[in-house]
Amino acid sequence: MLPNSVDLPLDINSVKGFLDDDEAKALYQHAIAAAQRGPILEVGSYCGKSTVYLGAACKQHNSVLFAVDHHRGSEEHQLGEEYHDPDLYDVRFKKMDSFPEFRHTLARANLEEVVVPIVAPSVLAARFWSTPLAMVFIDGGHSMEAALNDYRCWSGHVMRGGLLVIHDVFPNPADGGRPPYEIWKLAQESGLFEALPLVKSLGVLKRL
C-alpha cells in the first residue's frame, strides 16, 4: 500500500522546475516503495525539484539516489529558447549551468548525504554502470536521440519488480512532444515492462 502524504524537507514551490503536483506525489509514492528494495536513479535533475521528492523517499529507507545530469540544459533551456532562465546562464562560458542551483537545493533540503550527483551526459555516466536499480526516472532531453539514449542506457539496469518512470508522456500529439511517449511504448513492446496507469504525463512501468 503506497502512502498518501508527501513529507518534504523544504517548501517545494521555492525550487525551480516543471513537475506537476499530482505527478510529483505519484513519483514520491512509488519512490517510497522502491527505496525499500534498492537505490534509485534519475536522469535530468535540473534544479532539483524531482530530486527532492526522490531523495526524501530514499532518506526514509536509508537508500541512495543517483542524480545524472550534465547541467548544461536541454534544447529548450538554451539562450533565446522558450524555457531559458537567465539566472542559470553562466556568462563566463556562455553556457547554461544549473548545477550551483541544484547543489543549493540539496543543501536546503538536507539531502547531501543521500543524493550522489553525477555531472555528466547520460551516455557517459552509463558506460560502465553495473549497479541494479530499484527505480529509474527519465526526465532528460526530449529530442528523439536524447530520449532513446536515456532509455537504452538505463532501462536494462532496472531490477525485476523495479520501476521505470518516464516524464512527459503524451499519448495525444497535440499535448506535447513525442520522444518520451515513444520510449514509453518501446518499453512495453520490449516485453520486459508492464505499464501501470498514467498519472497525467507520468508513465510508470514495472519490470517483469
Catalytic-role residue among 71, 77, 142, 167:
142
Reference 57, options 129, 118, 157, 137; nearest CA is 137
- Helices vs strands, H then E, count in the chain: 6, 9
CB 150 within 8 A of CB 43: yes
Place of cell 560502465: 128
Distances (CA, A) of 92 to 11, 80, 88, 89, 99: 31, 17, 12, 9, 15
Q: Nine-digit cell at 149?
A: 539514449
Residue 157 annotated to the active site: no
Cβ–Cβ contacts within 10 Å for residue 23, how many? 20
Residues serving a catalytic function are 142
